[in-house]
Structure 1
Amino acid sequence: MDQFLKEFMDNPQQAIQFLIDKNLCDNTPEDIAYMLLTTEGINKQQLGQYFGKNNEKNQLILEAFCSLLDFRELKFDQAIRMFLSRFKLPGESQQIDRIVQKFTKVYTLDNPGVFTDQDVPYILCYSAIMLNVDAHSNKIEKKYKMTKEKFTQNNLACTRNAISKEFLGELYDNIVKEKFETKIDYIEQINRISIDELKNQDIQQLVCFLQGGVNMLKYGRKGKPHMRKIFLSQNLEKIIWMECDFVYNNNNNKKGRRERFILVKDLKDICLGAGSTEVMRRNNIPEEFDQFCLSIIASQRSLDLKANDVQTLFKWVFYIYHVLNEKREAKIKK
């Protein structure tokens, strides 16, 4: 699927045809939609552009894609949140319009008792998307942001009072409280950054570099962040962090310098950026540091770090990706 993911970033239509030609996907809207929904690492921005195209086949695939998502008994904002987590909305209003139409059609079919007028979910979905931008944009001053009262008034007027104030108030509160965000899995995160040179690097050289250790800023659940030496253990079983001036080996564990680590076998995911975990968000990391931040996710905790340079970050990302990919392949073989 690597070839497909690479081609999808440049030309989604050509990438899909590649899978059809290789007999990896049937040329039906349902099969293509299922592939687009379940393939890890697919570029969410290109997926949104593909869904927004004014093309009959694209729209059939979009509707099939919506139908694969189970919106039954979900609140309206929960359904929108689930839907928009799967791809990034395009910027053009006509493209958004097509996507909103398909979503509201399927949501209404899944929840026939929520809306009495078929135009109401379309209006509210569009309004919710605009509110999401307004509420969570740093470029809009607080005094100019949409108020709950104004949001309610506008939508009561647009829907001819077909929906209650309570419904609109809850919709407003939920969107302002939590932003609609596209879910980016770790494969796509890695595909988004330029690590081609690392892919050609011998894995043993990479391991040697990581075993040597590098100083990185570590963020914790409590207190201020501290510079720590982060390294891979010699037996490849642990990712360890210690004080920067501590020289580690298996026999010297000085008093007061307790080894802290996560087990490689417990690794679950890797996230990039300064807002990917609760620990990162609590520390209010400046936006300009976002490209240097990563969170290594294990079963019981996360290791939240800021590298001094992008290349160091890439090396850790690539190694974690390598480990996760090996675990996934081993699981498939079982």
Structure 2
Amino acid sequence: MFSQGDVERAIFDCEKQLQSCRLRLSAVNTLKGGAPSSVEDDAVILRKKVRMKGFEDNASLVSELQSEADSSVVSLRVGRRASLSSEAHEKIKDRIIRTFNLDEKRGLTMMRENGFGRTPQQTAKFLLATGGLNREMVGRALGSFYDDRGLESLRLFAEGVEMQGLPFVQGLRKFLQKFKLPGESQMVDRILEAFAKAFCKANPQDFSGPNAVHALAFAVIILNTDAHSHNLKQLAKMTKEQFINNTRSIEGCDELNPEFLGEIYDEITENEIVHQEDKHDEGNLFHDSVKEGWMRKKAAGAAAIAWRKRFFILTKNPPQLYYFEDDKSNDPKGYIPLENVNVSKSKKHKKGLELTPVKGELLKSVKYSRSGELVLGEHKVAELKAQSVEDCWEWYEAITRVINKT
């Protein structure tokens, strides 16, 4: 059983959030037994912060969503408590994100059951303003909306992307940065139709109506694939003349100026519309890493002798060393908080590092159980092995900078 002090030392976040963490701890300790599993973990706080990061262009939307969710009274199930504390709210939201990133249909169901997607407005806001959602799954979810309620959610999602005053291609790029287009043509058609209506609403003077924008958007997606797909290298690329003629032959696009279409062709062929697939945007919730790479971690426990290969991500804010099953995993196996920790070269292994507590206390660590709950641990030392002596020095210097906040 961990004491309150043990739990406090295991919860790390930014200095500005430390006071609020401790206030939560004091409230939780009034519960019977003060069990560590009742204490809200810092990962939830980290994810809340990261979900807000990078969405400045939707600041008002994020603020509205957060205000609505924090103040709402949600009926989770018949007989369950209707009101949620902010800690419980964040914990549920975190689980929804995890579920959604594995299966968008289950995630949408969980959203509705827990009050995050009871209305089309809430669904649209959650998909647009919540960071950490897998962008491929967001695209699948948007493409799966076909009934009145779903199409309304899709419409509100598209209108939530600020496109007023943007040229057509720039508006399309911004829209497609919010998700990855699904592979089914019917899904793509529904999504681009929503984009067309939203773009025309934001820029009514640019086109005669959404039909032309819808058709042009589809033509641009085809051009982007033709020009940049690695699978089509052996085929002849579409010429500018072909693009202009093909596009103007589409119903509703005959009004488009050939010079305007030529400019679009040049822009797309020179600068690919990239669907952002960076691992930090795909549900891992880790931004601005200091260093990433493979190391071996000695299994915890007095009798443990196994070294397990893990993929590590070192973050500065908060100062923590996360480790994953592999470099494609969306969620960490666990992490080691680096506050009040020393790093040193191992005397037993040329490629080894050791993490030890500053004041001779036990080193704190956190692991995720299969159910997603946090399990707190404490050890005398955490032993790591880099892939080479040179890599070991790079890890040593990077961890030292994070610890010293330099």
Shorter-chain TM-score tier = 0.5 to 0.7
CA shift digits 1:158-185 (9 cap, x unpaired)? 2453011121011111111221122356
User: Equivalent residue of 2:395, what SS?
Assistant: strand
Q: CA RMSD in A?
A: 3.3
Alignment of 1:250-329 (within 5 A): 265=405
Shift, 1:143, TM fit: 5.7
**Which of residues 192, 203, 207 in structure 2 aligns to 1:115?**
207
User: Equivalent residue of 2:249, what SS?
Assistant: helix
Match of 2:275 in 1: 182
Shift, 1:58, TM fit: 2.2
Amino acid at match of 2:177: S
1:119, 1:142 → 2: CA distance? 33
Shift, 1:114, TM fit: 1.0
Q: Would the aligned equivalents of 2:158 and 2:194 in 1 still touch at CA under 8 Å?
A: yes
Match of 2:195 in 1: 103
1:193 equivalent in alignment to 2:285: no
Amino acid at match of 2:282: E
User: Equivalent residue of 2:230, what SS?
Assistant: coil
**Which of residues 162, 169, 177 in structure 2 aligns to 1:70?**
162
What count of residue pairs does the alignment treat as equivalent?
Answer: 232
Q: Would the aligned equivalents of 1:132 and 1:175 in 2 still touch at CA under 8 Å?
A: yes
Shift, 1:94, TM fit: 0.9
TM-score normalised by structure 2 residue count: 0.50
User: Equivalent residue of 1:87, what SS?
Assistant: coil
Shift, 1:17, TM fit: 4.0
Which deviates the most, 3-12 or 90-99? 3-12
1:142, 1:164 → 2: CA distance? 31
**Which of residues 39, 43, 47 in structure 1 aligns to 2:138?**
47
Match of 1:322 in 2: none
CA separation of 1:75 and 1:206: change in aligned 2, threshold 3 A: farther
Q: Would the aligned equivalents of 2:353 and 2:392 in 1 still touch at CA under 8 Å?
A: no
**Which of residues 219, 230, 254 in structure 2 aligns to 1:127?**
219
5+ unaligned residues in a row in structure 1: which ranges? 218-225, 240-262, 267-334
Amino acid at match of 1:188: E
Shift, 1:97, TM fit: 0.8
2:174, 2:118 → 1: CA distance? 26
1:213, 1:64 → 2: CA distance? 50
User: Equivalent residue of 1:5, what SS?
Assistant: helix
User: Equivalent residue of 1:8, what SS?
Assistant: helix
CA separation of 1:83 and 1:238: change in aligned 2, threshold 3 A: same
CA shift digits 1:238-297 (9 cap, x unpaired)? 16xxxxxxxxxxxxxxxxxxxxxxx9857xxxxxxxxxxxxxxxxxxxxxxxxxxxxxxx
Shift, 1:237, TM fit: 4.6
1:118, 1:176 → 2: CA distance? 24
5+ unaligned residues in a row in structure 2: which ranges? 1-92, 286-326, 345-351, 355-383
Match of 2:394 in 1: 230
Q: Would the aligned equivalents of 1:12 and 1:50 in 2 still touch at CA under 8 Å?
A: yes
CA shift digits 1:38-69 (9 cap, x unpaired)? 11110111111111122332221111101111
Identity fraction in percent: 29
Shift, 1:115, TM fit: 1.1
TM-score normalised by structure 1 residue count: 0.60
1:19, 1:160 → 2: CA distance? 39
CA separation of 1:200 and 1:213: change in aligned 2, threshold 3 A: closer
Give the structure with higher Rg (CA).
Answer: 2
